[in-house]
């Protein structure tokens, strides 16, 4: 095959040869070595490999090897309020990801519409600026995309493209103040170290409005859950945008550019946009809708100790538990229904670890008579926004937050 265009870093032919050799090795492995999971995606395919092949990561659902898309197995959310780093989901856009990061050489640049451009070492960042900590949920805009009907192309995630971590780092505001933002700044653009294989492809960059960037909550994290980030989660620095979808949480953050004009780059203006409608929802095939960048998260709640098909004893108390998050604010209540939404009961909320984090909930469930029950779980956030009772739909598969339901049998 002739080489076309400008493929960087790796040559297609060489890659194919290497892959073919690896395939040979894979064939000699016994079949039982591959652990599989079946995700209940309507129409399928739902079979995915459970992989432990990624460095610094434990068992993950393999959605794509290169660039990595790794989903958190859902049982992880039942065990811990804070998702362990080695099972925190992973999502990359471009395939050229540095795998050799020298902490003495890494720099973060701050440039553009500022008084004093900066090039900060990790030592500068850790020692010169006050350290802050914040628990927050990081969720892919397309989490649960695989449940959209009609189905849409993209990463076919189940519900595990999310995680909750305690982020430690510095305020973005403090970094911007150090550089001195000039009057007239409108947005701040962020870029990490990942690069596309094709040189002409748009580098991954995301922007926030200047007031948002300076709100004192947006931070640059150098640790999650008390440890440095796994490389595939963005080591050494990752932008943390509490309450906003993960597309803004730029990994391996290396460049901050203050703009005096709105960002028109592909990843901010074209990709990651949603219909400007309630729940970002339109009818399949509907066109001519105004699109806006995806932004604040919406409330969600999940049962973590049972799944559809679970059997419980009728007329006996059963513990039902799970997690919830408010999206861009805290959780006010988690309610459940066993009669298809005619009556709702409040679950007991666990410890409040911070308004942007997961909130555990628990209740004692009593199903009066044997039979099949459809159990509904709904979170209402502190802005008074509740999960909707019908699923949203948009062509990118973003922002799913319909009230979850599981079908259980009382025997």
Partner 1 sequence: MFRNFLTVVVLLGVAATPLMAQTPVPLELKSVRLDLPDSDKMFPAGPGSDAINNNCLACHSAGMVLNQPAMSKQAWEAEVNKMINNYKAPIAPEDVGTIVAYLTALKGVK
Q: In the bound complex, what is the minimum distance in angstroms from residue 246's beta carbon to partner 1?
A: 18
* Structure token pair of residue 144: 């649960």
Query: Contact at 8 Å (CB) between 357 and 391?
Result: no
Q: In the bound complex, what is the minimum distance in angstroms from residue 57's beta carbon to partner 1?
A: 10
Choice between 15 and 321, CB closer to partner 1: 15
Choice between 127 and 290, CB closer to partner 1: 127
Q: In the bound complex, what is the minimum distance in angstroms from residue 178's beta carbon to partner 1?
A: 17
Choice between 53 and 307, CB closer to partner 1: 53
Choice between 304 and 392, CB closer to partner 1: 392
* Structure token pair of residue 230: 């796994």
Q: Which of 324, 321, 319, 318 is nearest to 303 (CA)?
A: 321
DSSP assignment of 123-154 = HHHHHHS-EEEEEEEEE-TTTTGGG-SS--SS
Choice between 5 and 309, CB closer to partner 1: 5
Q: In the bound complex, what is the minimum distance in angstroms from residue 296's beta carbon to partner 1?
A: 16
Choice between 34 and 319, CB closer to partner 1: 34
Q: HEC string of 15-58?
A: HHHHHHHHHHHHHHCCHHHCCEEECCCCCCCCEEEEECCCCCCC
Dihedral, 382, 385, 388, 391 alpha carbons, nearest 10: -90
Helix (H, G, I), strand (E, B) or coil at 174: helix
Q: Which of 106, 113, 273 is nearest to 189 (CA)?
A: 113
Choice between 41 and 320, CB closer to partner 1: 41
Q: In the bound complex, what is the minimum distance in angstroms from residue 410's beta carbon to partner 1?
A: 33
CA distance 115 to 4: 43
Q: In the bound complex, what is the minimum distance in angstroms from residue 50's beta carbon to partner 1?
A: 13
Choice between 134 and 250, CB closer to partner 1: 134
CA distance 150 to 147: 9
Choice between 112 and 142, CB closer to partner 1: 142
Which pairs with CB-CB distance under 8 Å and at least 24 residues apart come from 268-272? Answer: 268/189, 268/205, 268/206, 268/207, 268/293, 269/293, 272/141, 272/206, 272/245, 272/247, 272/396, 272/398
Q: In the bound complex, what is the minimum distance in angstroms from residue 409's beta carbon to partner 1?
A: 29
Q: Find all residues with CB under 8 Å of 152, minimum gap 6, and list them.
A: 145, 394, 395, 396, 397
Query: Contact at 8 Å (CB) between 229 and 154?
Result: no
Query: Contact at 8 Å (CB) between 280 and 289?
Result: no
Q: In the bound complex, what is the minimum distance in angstroms from residue 230's beta carbon to partner 1?
A: 9
Query: Contact at 8 Å (CB) between 86 and 230?
Result: yes
> For residue 77, what are the CA distances in angstroms to 32, 89, 305, 329?
26, 12, 9, 20
Q: In the bound complex, what is the minimum distance in angstroms from residue 51's beta carbon to partner 1?
A: 8
């Amino acid at each position: 095959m002739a080489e076309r265009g400008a493929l960087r870093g790796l040559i297609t032919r060489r890659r194919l040869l290497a892959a073919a050799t690896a395939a040979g090795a894979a064939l000699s492995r016994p079949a039982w070595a591959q652990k599989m999971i079946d995700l209940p995606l309507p129409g399928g395919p739902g079979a995915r490999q459970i992989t432990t092949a990624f460095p610094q990561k434990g068992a993950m659902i393999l959605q794509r090897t290169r660039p990595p898309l790794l989903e958190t197995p859902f049982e992880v959310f039942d065990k811990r309020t804070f998702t362990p780093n080695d099972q925190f989901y992973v999502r990359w856009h471009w395939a050229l990801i540095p795998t050799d990061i020298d902490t003495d050489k890494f720099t973060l640049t701050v440039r553009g519409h500022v008084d004093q451009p900066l090039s900060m070492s990790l030592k500068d960042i850790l020692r010169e600026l006050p350290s802050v900590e914040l628990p927050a949920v990081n969720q892919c805009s397309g989490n649960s995309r695989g449940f959209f009907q009609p189905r849409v192309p993209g990463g076919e995630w189940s519900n595990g493209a999310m995680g909750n971590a305690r982020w430690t780092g510095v305020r973005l505001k403090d970094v911007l103040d150090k550089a001195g933002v000039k009057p007239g700044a409108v947005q701040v653009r962020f870029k990490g170290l990942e690069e596309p294989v094709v040189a002409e492809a748009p580098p991954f960059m995301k922007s926030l409005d200047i007031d948002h960037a300076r709100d004192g909550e947006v931070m640059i994290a150098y640790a999650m859950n008390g440890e440095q980030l796994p490389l595939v989660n963005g080591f050494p620095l990752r932008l943390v945008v509490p309450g906003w979808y993960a597309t803004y949480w730029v990994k391996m953050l290396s460049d901050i550019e203050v703009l005096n004009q709105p960002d028109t780059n592909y990843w901010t203006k074209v990709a990651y946009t949603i219909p400007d409608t309630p729940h970002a929802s339109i009818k399949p095939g509907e066109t001519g809708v105004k699109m806006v960048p995806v932004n604040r998260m919406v409330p969600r709640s999940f049962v973590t100790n049972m799944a559809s098909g679970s059997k419980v004893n009728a007329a006996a108390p059963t513990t039902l538990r799970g997690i919830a998050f408010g999206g861009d604010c805290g959780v006010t209540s988690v309610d459940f229904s066993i009669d298809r939404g005619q009556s709702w009961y409040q679950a007991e909320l666990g410890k409040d670890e911070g308004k942007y984090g997961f909130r555990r909930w628990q209740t004692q469930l009593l199903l009066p008579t044997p039979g099949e029950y459809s159990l509904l779980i709904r979170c209402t956030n502190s802005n008074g926004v509740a999960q909707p009772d019908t699923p949203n739909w948009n062509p990118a598969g973003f922002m799913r937050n319909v009230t979850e339901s599981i079908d259980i049998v009382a025997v």
